[in-house]
C-alpha cells in the first residue's frame, strides 16, 4: 500500500520507532494520527514534524482502556472521514528478572499494554478498515516474540501472542481489502527501558554490550518501506533475520545462545 494521501494511526507515536514512523509517513505524504499516553512526548513529535505538522494530529490515549479506545475510533474517523492504516507499535518491556521473581502487577501491565492494547485497537478499527478500498494493519511484535529471552519471558509471551494474533488476522482477512503485516524488530537504540518504567539490566564491570543497534530512524524506514511493498513479515535488523532462521533450524542451540548472552545480566 502506498502511504501517500493515506490516513494512518500510529500508537506509541511519542518516542522511539513510533515517533520516527510518524515523521517518515508525513514525509511520504501521509496524514497521521499519533497516539501516546504522554502529552509532552506527543508535543515533541508535533514540533519535530515542522511544516508537515499540518497533516498530523496527536491524541492522548490509554490503549488498555477498551471503552476509551472504542470512543477514540469514532472520534478519529469523524475527524478524518476515513482510516486507511493502523500501526500498533506501542509496547513496554518487563523488569529484567526471571518469572519466579516477577510481580503479578508487572505481568498484568505488560500483557495489558502489549497484547490487549493491540487487540482493542484492532477490534475498534477493523470495521472502518474493511470499508476502504485498500487498508493495512501492522502489528509490532519483537525478536523476543519468536524465541525465548531469559529475563523477558512475559514480554516475549505478550509479543508471541501478538505474532499469533496477527497471523490469524492475516488468514481471516486474506480475501478482503485489508492487508496484515507483523514486524519483528531486533536490537534498536530506543528508550524503551525508561519508557516502560523499569531499570535496565545491571552490566558487569568492564563488560559493555557489543550488539550493533539500528537507529529508530533506520527501523522506521524499513517498516514503512515494508508496508509500501505489501510485505507480510517485516524483519528489522540483521540480528532479527538471522535469529529467525537459526531458531527455526535449531531452536535448542538458539535458546542456549540467547541464554548465555543474558546470563550475566540477570540476578541468580
Q: How far apart are CA 259 and CA 243, in angstroms?
A: 13
Residue 155 annotated among the catalytic residues of the structure: yes
Phi, psi (5° rounding) for residue 149? -125, 105
- 10 Å CB burial of residue 171 (0-12, 13-18, 19+) is exposed
Alpha-carbon separation of residue 259 from 65, 215, 252 (angstroms):
35, 25, 10
Residue appearing with cell numbers 514503512:
224
The residue annotated as part of the active site, out of 116, 136, 155, 170, is: 155
Q: Looking at the annotation, which residues are catalytic?
A: 155
Amino acid at each position: 500500500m502506498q502511504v501517500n494521501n493515506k490516513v494512518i494511526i500510529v500508537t506509541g507515536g511519542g518516542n522511539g520507532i513510533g515517533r520516527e514512523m510518524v515523521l517518515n509517513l508525513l514525509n511520504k505524504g501521509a496524514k497521521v494520527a499519533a497516539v501516546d499516553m504522554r502529552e509532552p512526548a506527543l508535543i515533541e513529535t508535533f514540533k519535530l514534524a515542522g511544516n508537515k505538522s499540518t497533516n498530523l494530529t496527536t491524541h492522548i490515549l490509554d490503549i488498555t482502556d477498551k471503552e476509551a479506545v472504542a470512543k477514540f475510533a469514532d472520534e478519529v474517523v469523524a475527524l478524518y472521514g476515513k482510516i486507511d492504516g493502523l500501526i500498533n507499535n506501542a509496547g513496554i518491556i518487563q523488569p529484567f528478572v526471571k518469572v519466579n521473581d516477577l510481580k503479578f502487577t508487572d505481568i498484568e501491565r505488560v500483557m495489558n499494554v502489549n497484547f490487549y492494547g493491540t487487540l482493542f485497537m484492532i477490534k475498534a478499527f477493523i470495521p472502518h478498515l474493511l470499508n476502504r478500498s485498500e487498508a493495512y494493519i501492522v502489528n509490532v511484535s519483537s525478536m523476543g516474540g519468536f524465541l525465548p529471552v531469559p529475563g523477558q519471558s512475559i514480554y516475549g509471551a505478550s509479543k508471541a501472542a501478538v505474532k499469533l494474533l496477527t497471523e490469524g488476522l492475516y488468514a481471516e482477512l486474506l480475501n478482503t481489502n485489508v492487508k496484515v503485516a507483523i514486524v519483528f524488530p531486533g536490537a534498536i537504540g530506543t528508550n524503551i527501558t525508561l519508557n516502560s518504567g523499569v531499570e535496565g539490566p545491571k552490566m558487569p564491570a568492564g563488560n559493555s554490550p557489543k550488539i550493533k543497534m539500528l537507529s529508530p530512524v533506520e527501523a522506521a524506514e524499513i517498516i514503512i518501506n515494508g508496508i509500501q511493498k505489501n510485505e507480510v513479515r517485516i524483519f528489522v535488523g540483521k540480528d532479527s533475520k538471522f535469529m529467525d532462521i537459526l531458531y527455526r533450524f535449531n531452536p535448542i542451540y538458539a535458546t542456549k545462545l540467547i541464554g548465555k548472552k543474558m546470563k550475566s545480566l540477570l540476578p541468580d
